[in-house]
């Protein structure tokens, strides 16, 4: 009986996919060799090859197993390669503010691959260090090319604690809902500091 699995189960062009042969010989003679065809013109042999796909698409992967007595069997399965990736491209903040003032904080999200639903968390720096969430928004983000972004608009009122150090910075964290982001290092962005006066 021929079978296999692979990980990650939702590969992107940035992933090196690990394949595992799960085949067994019901006759008990034993397996002599495994031959893999990845559906993009590339092949491999052995029980557990790795492979990276060069483009998104649907690839028919075929595993052929040959037994020590010469019998062979094959199975095929489609591998869906989809590269989901959004990036926080910018955060627009006021240069200066006063305690009690409400100002817009705009997070620009870049997306050049697939329409996505994205959640953006807005955090602010704390006088004692670290970050605290001050807002969260989720919305549909279309594909926009040419450097254009989809904006997430937050309203923020500057409290007295922001004036303790005289400035506050903001951090945006973006999460794709319903899919795995293939490049997570560009999902976070820290703004320039806003000078805050009492």
CATH of the domain at 63: 2.60.40.10
- In this predicted structure, what is the pLDDT of residue 26? 87
Of 81, 98, 125, which one is at a domain's C-terminal end?
81
Number of domains the chain contains: 2
pLDDT per position as a tens digit, 15-68: 999 999 999 888 888 999 999 999 999 999 999 999 999 999 999 999 999 999
Supply the pLDDT for residue 33.
95
- In terms of domains, do 185 and 95 share one? yes
8 A C-beta contact, residue 55 and residue 81:
yes
Domain limit, last residue, from 81, 101, 122: 81
Give CA–CA dist 38/59, Å, rounded. Answer: 7
End-to-end CA distance of the chain: 74
Q: Of 46, 81, 116, which residue sits at a domain end?
A: 81
Predicted local distance difference test score (pLDDT) of residue 117: 98
* Reported confidence tier of residue 1, pLDDT bands at 50, 70, 90: confident
pLDDT in tens, 140-180: 999 999 999 999 999 999 999 999 889 999 999 999 999 99
CB within 8 Å of 92: residues ≥ 6 apart? 104, 105, 106, 108, 191
Residue bearing tokens 């955060």? 91
Residues 90 and 181 in one domain: yes
């Amino acid at each position: 009986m021929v079978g296999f699995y692979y990980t990650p189960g939702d590969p992107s062009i940035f992933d090196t996919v690990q394949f595992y042969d799960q085949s067994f010989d019901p006759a008990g003679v034993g397996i002599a060799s495994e031959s893999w065809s990845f559906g993009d013109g590339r092949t491999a042999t052995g029980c557990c090859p790795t492979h990276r796909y060069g483009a998104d698409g649907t690839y028919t992967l075929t595993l052929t197993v040959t037994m020590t007595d010469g019998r062979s069997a094959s199975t095929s399965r489609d591998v869906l390669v989809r590269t989901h990736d959004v990036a926080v491209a910018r955060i627009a903040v006021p240069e200066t503010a006063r305690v009690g003032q409400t100002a817009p904080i705009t997070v620009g999200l870049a997306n050049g691959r697939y329409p996505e639903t994205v959640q953006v968390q807005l955090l602010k720096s704390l006088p004692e260090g670290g970050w605290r969430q001050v807002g969260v928004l989720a919305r549909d983000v279309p594909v926009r090319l040419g450097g254009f972004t989809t904006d997430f608009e937050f309203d923020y009122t500057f409290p007295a604690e922001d004036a303790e150090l005289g400035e506050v910075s903001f951090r945006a964290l973006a999460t794709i809902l319903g899919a795995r982001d293939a490049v997570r290092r560009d999902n976070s962005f820290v703004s320039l500091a806003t000078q805050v006066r009492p």
